[in-house]
Amino acid sequence: MSSNTILEVKDLCKTYIINKRQNNVLRNVNFKVSEGEMVAVMGPSGSGKSTLLYTVSGMDKMTAGDVKFCGRELSKLRENELSKMRLDDMGFIFQQMYMMKNLSILDNIILPAVKSDKKKESRRDTLKRGQELMRKLGIIEISDNDINEVSGGQLQRACICRSMINEPRMIFADEPTGALNRTSSDEVMDELEKLNKEGTSIMLVTHDAKVAAKCSRVLYIVDGNINGEYNIDKGLSLRDRERGLNNWLMEMGW
Ligand SMILES: Nc1ncnc2c1ncn2[C@@H]1O[C@H](COP(=O)(O)OP(=O)(O)OP(=O)(O)O)[C@@H](O)[C@H]1O
């Protein structure tokens, strides 16, 4: 494994069995993500994008294959080691936002830090870091709100703050802009791009070519296999990146 590979996936398979019927959702998936990359996963509905994200991030068990994150093979980790890795080194932005209803937005954001012993700090310092992140994402005014007292875009930005609180090496995001209008979507992507520029690796699932055009590479998955990948030339204008990506997606049968 080269020194700058953060995620290495080899022959990954995931099979669900429902009513004794096998559904081979991921079939021998192979790819690598280098440290500092921002990779989009695209493909038709039901092709296995979310399953891929869940499996490589250790949220869901693989059926076969190897997944190495930061040089450690997930299948060899004990449950508590895997939980610690997820808490300390990975950030998650998932569609079902898993925010706690009885906590304020700020308390939700700092929850992963409260659970982790990565940073030895006082609750006051944790709160301060949470507030700094909220300020950075432009949502400090909703610190004390309940999760049902904010807009979709604000909630999504709160999720980004929460995914960042333990300063993870990589963020996994499932349709981070899926429920947002174009303006909020652009704002959320701006924030993810900023985090990526600061060094956080990102892997996100999206149906939106405008979102994917802001990444460095796109993996295209069909029927549980990666059918192709497209490197995005960051030297081009966003418009030209989108145009190039759309042409490629059409070739892939998008
Ligand atoms: N927990 C589960 N149990 C059983 N089958 C599942 C489970 N999760 C996903 N599947 C099946 O796996 C297949 C791939 O689903 P997945 O959600 O990964 O696709 P997707 O590409 O993310 O789709 P979409 O773009 O519609 O979100 C589908 O056939 C789905 O029914």
Domain boundaries, the chain: 5-251
Question: 121: which residues sit within 8 A by CB, 6+ positions away?
Answer: 113, 129
Per-residue pLDDT at 2? 45
Q: Which CATH superfamily is domain 5-251 in?
A: P-loop containing nucleotide triphosphate hydrolases (3.40.50.300)
H helices of 90-212, in order, are: 105-115, 123-136, 152-164, 182-197, 209-212
d(CA 126, CA 122): 6
Which tokens go with 111? 């929850």
Adjacent-strand bridge partners of 228: 220
Two tokens, residue 222: 């069909």
Q: For a pocket test of ligand 1, which of 12, 18, 22, 25 has the largest count of ligand atoms closer than 8 A to its C-beta? A: 25
pLDDT classification of 136: cutoffs 50, 70, 90: confident
Q: Judge if the beta carbon of residue 49 lies within 6 A of ligand 1.
A: yes
Q: How far is the CA of 86 from the centre of ligand 1 (A)?
A: 22
Across the range 204-228, mean pLDDT stands at 96
User: What's the CA gap between 184 and 38, in Å, rounded?
Assistant: 19
Q: Is 50 in the pocket of ligand 1 (CB under 6 A)?
A: yes
| ipTM of model over 0.90 | yes
- How many Å lie between the centroid of ligand 1 and the Cα of residue 45? 8
Burial level of 46, CB count in 10 A (0-12/13-18/19+)? exposed
pTM given for the model: 0.93
Consecutive H or E run containing 43: none
Per residue in 1-36, pLDDT (tens digit) is 445 999 999 999 999 998 889 999 999 999 999 999
